[in-house]
Chains A and B, each alone.
Chain A
């Protein structure tokens, strides 16, 4: 990827055009270039047209196994019913030893694999801490340029370090599992401060009410001058509560 000849330029232009048209293969290839931090990837980004409006990026974060991917799956269904095009970027950690990764979030979203209005991509964190990968903001720019109305970013996080997501997302959804008394206490300084929506997923559990109350009282302790943060309950596996979550997300996205 050294000298830029005109032939390559033309192919680059064509590629960018296809990306803007929302052509999945071109988006996918370009993401690989960006992830690999190649010169070609840089050129693609430079050639992308300026967006008409900023990207609406929803960050979904929460502890391992809380149901993030399952909830995103349900959200996609909901957003598709509202005729929005959805891009999903799911970040999983790379092994610090080998650099490899097992990316398993898509399992939960298999239903949307063949919907042209949905683009899902798994990303490995590749050495970046904080639950994200180094290139996430650039990948977001690219997928946004491809005309997706809403971008959802899934990251694993336990509360303290994952504040990184707030730097790329403009709506932050934090997920909790019912019955996490002590862990919630530990969250004070963390995600609770930056989250825009709190969700207790797995609301089919009997501990849900207690956890909802606990979260609400913690929010109340922050004082009245703070912005209002809704606390919702969802059952990702059945889709219960997801329509309301979508409402709140879209409200926030349009007010930003």
Chain B
């Protein structure tokens, strides 16, 4: 793998505050990753197709309101499309109780407000590598 991971940063649902996702996009780029940035209000089926065509390793969903409630549906849709290897992370405001639910639904990691730059970059990079390995194994199989 030449690059250090390909990440789709997007927002689903109704909210459009993008301060966080813009900063994270810069962090990931400065760490050598390639980031597809879509802006808010994406529909789940579109996100799935986009992730497919762009062959991304990680999808980052930014949620500052209650939009994270849609993430389990996204993960489900990814799996149904055969894109289960893509790691999904959520960044933003997620209350503790609902964070557990998201993890159970398959979210790889939740970055709460205040998550450090290092942790975001390192973990996203590691998750991208994981996703790549899964694909390589598919090739072998």
Contact = CB atoms under 8 A, between A and B. Distances in A.
A31 interface: yes
A126 B79 CA distance: 31
B55 A28 contact: yes
Interface residues of B, number: 33
Main secondary structure of the interface of A (DSSP, over half): mixed
Interface residues of A, number: 34
Interface in B29-52: 29-39, 42, 45-47, 49-50, 52
Contacts, number: 91
Given A100-B32, A101-B29, A32 B55 contact: yes
Contact of A114 (B3, B4, B45, B54): B45
A24 B48 CA distance: 12
B55 A29 contact: yes
Contacts of A122: 36, 54
B25 interface: yes
Contacts of A99: 3-4, 32
A182 B127 CA distance: 48
B28 interface: yes
B79 to A, nearest CB: 14
B120 to A, nearest CB: 13
Contacts of B47: 113
A107 B4 contact: no
Interface in B15-74: 25-26, 28-39, 42, 45-47, 49-50, 52-55
A100 B135 contact: no
A121 B54 CA distance: 6
The 9 closest A-B pairs by CB, nearest first: A100-B29, A113-B46, A28-B55, A36-B2, A100-B32, A99-B32, A98-B32, A32-B55, A104-B37
Given A101-B34, A121-B53, A121-B54, 15 more contacts: A31-B55, A35-B2, A36-B3, A37-B2, A97-B30, A98-B31, A100-B28, A100-B30, A102-B29, A103-B37, A104-B37, A113-B47, A114-B49, A124-B34, A126-B2
Interface of A: 8, 11, 24-25, 27-29, 31-32, 35-37, 40, 94-95, 97-104, 106-107, 110, 113-114, 119-122, 124, 126
